[in-house]
Structure 1
């Protein structure tokens, strides 16, 4: 699978503005955009800060785009806003949503592909840490995305909630040999074990009201839950079951 350039903010050589033949108005617009570096600037803020007529700002932006000096990017926080960056910057993850987003949209297929590969690696390793799986996935060259440790932690959290893996602590013995005592590890959960555990929990758990049973309050991954993240109310099977109650 091939996707995603690194979301780094590495700069390329700044274009020589004199050789671009910019007008004074274009220089003003370009300077405002460039000053924002990898965070970009909203077109309305350009108009407000430049004190130029809207038609002049719009014409300047079009010219700068045609010259390849600036680019338009999607702001995942507000997709209707036209946001511009100088061409030498890569947009901040805060602006684009990071590795899980593609063209401003949550890339569910990519997330599922990473989840599947991580699940396979955990099964192969028997007992795995975030770091061991991360190293194995990166060594495989399966993805071009620059996935960091926090991305894998989010994926592991989703796998735990999906009952595909379980979180355990190393005791340094047996299958945990070589792993520091107390280190958080992950093991695959067999289908039989999942079914038996679910049945036992259902039999032992008293029936309670819907409001009291909302899963968010006791969810161990609540700190990683965001509206558009890998772990979110929209993708949480437990939250959906609560809504259907």
Structure 2
């Protein structure tokens, strides 16, 4: 039995979404553009067939939705050669994502004897499906990232945090005008925002990591972490190409994506505008009966009197004065 043309079309559509799991409803919407006569029931049959050929992975969410992620044809062809136990081990490694999994954990979760685990891993390594980064095993496709982020099988926190800091600093200094108001932003059409290519070039030229070559896939993942942490945002560039090449250009191309830093918000609360909110003695030493107390505070009356004076001035000039208080 061979993969049909319709199945290959659906596989191509899922593959184009990148290394992410896609909701089956979203897949149906995407498929409707190229195979408009495909019903929901037909799509389910196609997806199940693709899964049996190893061309897609599937995952069920807590609300019973099914998500799919495409594998490449090359990987799927190799999976066809695995026996049942080898495929079970491969899926376990695959589901560990980029963290990898130890051999002892594979044996524990699959209940497969250690000798068969060892022989299965050897067979998959020969087929370049998996790679050992002692003491863990990862997919061969994650080799680049493993060399960068893993040290003896564990995530190298120092390397990760150092590279994240470099990325963030590079992006931040290109996100806001220098020597201007803190809320200033660049004019529309500004072309100096950080791109993946520029960030990668900065990292490579910094020579921070000397034992391995930092690649785009590594930096892209670190940028995704910074986005998740709320430190940067990812935007499409507002510089569009000439209209005569619009049709031939992929708008999702990496060169059209820029990264912009988010300024940290000042921490404030109801006390911040008052002298108490800025007083170094407020929490620990300011007590009702102490040497420093609310009743003998010299700052609060001054602040209150200034506020009342400004209020009177504002009323007198019908709002032409300041509408804020400086402390």
TM-score (norm: length of structure 1): 0.40
Structure with larger RCO (C-alpha < 8 A, sep 6+)? 1
